Amino acid sequence: MSRVALDDFGEREVSRIYLAAALAEAKKVEHLLTANEIDYAVEVEPYLRMSIFSSEYAGAAFYVLAEQAQFCKRALFEAGLKIGIQDESS
């Protein structure tokens, strides 16, 4: 299993499970998903970082099949990758 294009999932339902803000973080997510034999897609997506001024940045959004989302989120959490885990409303 490996990285695929988002279109490769076809009509199947996908879930965004993680938004990585840094390359090193994205590489950890990729390694974990690959090690667990999960097909995943990565898309560059904007996100806002709020401080005194809000700024827009680009992050790596990770998508998996919806039926694998909970397993992947739990594995990411257990691996210490907590901040970028996406909740159901994201």
pLDDT tens column, 48-80: 777 677 788 889 999 999 999 999 999 999 999
Residue 85 falls within a domain, yes or no? Answer: no
Question: What's the rounded Cα separation, in Å, for the pair 48 and 78?
Answer: 26
Q: Which residue has the tokens 């806002």?
A: 48
% pLDDT > 90, the chain: 74
In the 8-state DSSP scheme, what is residue 16? E
Q: Which of 16, 34, 27, 35 is nearest to 81 (CA)?
A: 27
Residue 86 falls within a domain, yes or no? Answer: no
- pTM of the predicted structure, to 2 decimals: 0.88
At 14, which CATH number?
3.30.70
Residue 67 falls within a domain, yes or no? Answer: yes
* Domain extent at residue 16: 6-78
Residue 1 falls within a domain, yes or no? Answer: no
User: Domain tally for the chain?
Assistant: 1
C-alpha dist (Å) from residue 18 to 52, 53: 25, 24
Average pLDDT value for the chain: 91
Residue 64 falls within a domain, yes or no? Answer: yes
In the 8-state DSSP scheme, what is residue 21? S
Residue 84 falls within a domain, yes or no? Answer: no
Residue 66 falls within a domain, yes or no? Answer: yes
